[in-house]
Amino acid sequence: MKSKGPKRKTRKLLRRGNRERLTINKYLQEFEIGNMVLIRPMPSSHKGMPFKRFAGKIGVITNKRGQSYIIKVMDGNKEKQVISRPEHIRLI
């Protein structure tokens, strides 16, 4: 394996069906601080995509930075912050 980029080994992780196409509503959705969200990367939008390790994790929105949101996620026993745009997160 020669590729060591951030998107390696994501063939199945970054796959969506026809019913999950990216719409303008996904770009424009707003979240409030304290909301519980699911991190689910949308493969057709590369901007603000969180790292593959955090796909499928549940976290709490702690702040907004520009168009993106800062999400507090537990990674094992450690608390981490993930910066993601709204099309890559889903409200729970």
CATH number at residue 83: 2.30.30.70
Give SS3 for 53: helix
Q: How many domains is the chain built from? A: 1
Phi, psi of 54 (to 5 degrees): -95, 5
**39 assigned to some structural domain:** yes
**18 assigned to some structural domain:** no
**43 assigned to some structural domain:** yes
Residues in CB range of 2: below 8 A, 6 or more apart: none
37-89 tens-digit pLDDT:
999 999 999 999 999 999 999 999 999 999 999 999 999 999 999 999 999 99
Is pTM, for the whole model, over 0.85? yes
Could you count the other beta carbons within 10 Å of the beta carbon of residue 76?
A: 6
Q: How many residues does the chain have?
A: 92
For 57, the token pair is 């994790």
